[in-house]
Structure formats: C-alpha cells, structure tokens
Amino acid sequence: MLKASPYRWVILAVAWFVIFFVNYGWYILPPLEEELSSSLGLSTDQLYLLLTAPTLAAALSSIPGGAVGDRLGVRRTVLAGILLGSVVGTARALSTGFPLLWSLTFLVGASMGLVVPNLPKMVGEWFPEGETGAASGIYVSSMGLGISAGLFTGALFPSWKWAFLCTGMGMLLSSLFWLLFAREPPQGRHRGVPLRESLSRAARSRNVWLLALSQFFFLGAFVSYTGGLTHAVQEVFGVGAGEAGALSALAVVGMVVGNLVWPPLADRTGRFRTFLVLCSLTSGPLLFLAWFEAYGLQTWLLVFAGGLMAGGIPPLLLAYPPLLPEVGPRYSGGASGVVLTSGNLGGLLLTVAIFSPLSKRGHDPAFLFLGAAFCLISLFSAFLSRVGKIRA
C-alpha cells in the first residue's frame, strides 16, 4: 500500500476552487432572469430552457468525460474542462440573443461533464481509504457554496454582461491555479485504460447502477424541491420573492453542512451504507414537513435540518466508485460519469414529468412525492456492497 502524499490536500484545495466557479457560473443565471428578459427579449420558456441547458449538457457529457479521465488522467481532463468553461462562460457576455446565449450556456454544462466525474477518481488516486468520504464531502461542499454564491450575488453586478465577464474570469483564474498546482497522482496510481474498457467495467457493475439510481432520485428531488419551494411559499403563504429565495438557499446551506458532517463519520465507522440509509430516511420526512406545516419559524428550522440530512447523500454516493473492488480508482472516472449522468437526467425528468404536473394539481401531493423520492434512495443504498474500514 502506497503512503498517502501530503500534497493531496493541495490537489483537493485547487479542485474545490475549480468546482466552485463551475457551479457559480451556472447559478448566476436565476438572479439575472429579469434583466436578460428585458435586454434580450427572452420569453419565460426561453429562460427555462436557458436554466436547464447545463443540466442537459452535463447529462450528455459526463459518461464520455469520465471515460476520457480514465484514459488521459485527471489532470489533463479537468484542465480541458475548466478551460472550455472559462472561454464559453466569458463569451456569454457577447450574446445578442437566445440562440447564442443558450449554446454557450450549454457548453458551460459540457465543461462540468469533463470536470465533475473526474473528482471521485482524483480522490481515489490521492487519498487513502479512510479519508475518501471526508475528501468527497469537501469538494461536494464547493458545489453547494458555488450555487449559493451565484444566487446571492448575481444581482449585485452592474449588468448581466459584467456578471458573465467576471464569472468567466473567475473560471479562468481557477484553470490557471489547476495548471500550476495540479499534479499526476503518486507513482503507480494512474494507468490509462481504453475508453471501451472503462465504460464496460462500469456497465457490468451492479453497484454502479444502484448508485446511479440513487443519484437520479437525489438530484431530481433536490432540484425540484429548491425550485418548487420558492414558488410554492409565495403562492400559498404570500411570502415575498426575496424571503422565498432565502428559504430555498437555506436548504442548500444545510446541505453544505451535511457534506462536511456525515462523510467523515462514515470514514471513521466504515458504515457508508448505514449513513446513506439514515440520511435518506430522515431528509425526506423533514423536507416534506417543512412544507406541510403552517409557515413560520419551524419551516426554516425544518428546511435547514432536511438539507443537513440530505447533504450526506451526494458525497457518500460519489465516494463509492473508487472504493468498489470491481471499479477502483482506475475505472472510477467512467463509473462516476454513469452516476452523474443519471443524476442530471433525474434533475430534468423528475422536475418536468412528475413534480411540475403534480404541483399544478396541488402542492401537498407534489412535496409528498419529493419526500418519498428521498426515502426511496435508502432502498437502493441498502443493496450496495459494503465499503470502508472501521478505524480504531
């Protein structure tokens, strides 16, 4: 067994910076909706297509992005992804209409498909088994913080052009840090594999498909919840737009805290499955009750608590691929690509095909469905192979 390199924390810090700006560049869009609509004449349907473009792109590019990482290595693949995001993210400031803006925003999502599936592989190559959960929680937390920062600061820029220009420069800065500080893993950890071999290994693993189904329901439920709650509390309880947005953002903040709390406990106890089941079965009821109870202080407390419990799910799911005997760090890029593709499809399909139609009939059944979706993750998680070792 190779000794863990102290440099692993530098790699993780730079990766955190990279993934923060990738998500920030995506979620800066919602606060700019009104300005984009008036400036470029975008319709409501076009704004929705714009917001979902990165999810669609990530769903299409995560599997090839992860397989390319298995072939070429994390360092080169992530650099290509963040450079792509920097160029197209900055170029959005030059948009003159919907077609160009949608295309460039789609490519921002494609850059995510190159970057995110390779982070579990990076963790598997650099971190010992007893630290994979904690390391996964750290980089996953940057996703939530990037989303929250985008939602809170998007409206502070002088114009939408400046917003896109500055976020593109932020991505470019993160690519420069990656270029300067990212290294290949310790000797013997990375060996390139053919793309077909990488994808074949992932497709033959029962565990990978269980993880993919879990991620499908997690991301679908969480995207639907954070978006639907904002609209529902305004419509039913007469809450202002700013307060409603802050309530949804609180769920994301709770999730970030959960990213950092539950994975280290899974590392120490070696009970990844147990914590996945626990977080799944508790987050669903808490988030449903946050809606079902009359609006008040308890709503805010339940939203935070539900986000806190839900926050343990994504880092534990993404920590799994490099720990699986049939996958390991060598094939974890392709396996993570399958898991993340399924998650992005869930974010689209559950929102459009189930939650949106249900919410038109009534918000109670819509949020009950989301609570059930969170709980359903425990069913798939319970059949995962055991990974992790108990530390003394």
Domain CATH code at residue 355:
1.20.1250.20
Query: What 3-state DSSP class applies to 240?
Result: coil
Domain that holds residue 136: 9-181+194-381
CA 335, 341, 344, 346 dihedral sign is negative
Q: Is residue 186 part of a domain?
A: no
Q: Is residue 1 part of a domain?
A: no
388: left (phi over 0), alpha (psi -120 to 50) or beta: left
What is the tally of structural domains in the chain? 1
> In whole angstroms, how far apart are CA 220 and each of 11, 147, 212?
30, 16, 12
Q: With a cut of 70, list the residues of the chain below it in pLDDT.
A: 1-2, 187-191, 390-392
Q: Is residue 306 part of a domain?
A: yes
Q: Is residue 140 part of a domain?
A: yes
Q: Is residue 388 part of a domain?
A: no
Locate 150 and state its tokens: 């985008």
Predicted confidence at residue 190, as pLDDT, reads 55
First CA to last CA across the chain, in angstroms?
Answer: 19
Q: Is residue 187 part of a domain?
A: no
Predicted confidence at residue 392, as pLDDT, reads 47
Q: Is residue 141 part of a domain?
A: yes
> In whole angstroms, how far apart are CA 71 and each of 67, 74, 88, 279, 327?
6, 9, 25, 34, 14
* Burial of residue 172, with CB atoms counted within 10 A of its CB: 0-12 exposed, 13-18 middle, 19 or more buried: middle
Other C-beta atoms within 10 Å of 325: how many? 9
Predicted confidence at residue 189, as pLDDT, reads 56
Q: Is residue 389 part of a domain?
A: no
Burial 339-368 (b: 16+ CB within 10 A, else e): bbbbbbbbbbebbeebbeebbeeebeebbb
Q: Whole-angstrom Cα distance, residue 282 to residue 197? A: 38
Break the chain down into helix, strand, coil percent, rounded to 5.
85, 0, 15
- List, in order, residues 6 or more apart from 116 with CB less than 8 Å away: 19, 22, 58, 62, 65, 336, 340
Q: Whole-angstrom Cα distance, residue 18 to residue 372? A: 33
Q: Whole-angstrom Cα distance, residue 210 to residue 193? A: 24
Q: Whole-angstrom Cα distance, residue 221 to residue 111? A: 24
In contact, 22 and 82? CB cutoff 8 Å: yes
Query: What 3-state DSSP class applies to 148?
Result: helix
Strand spans (E) along the chain: none
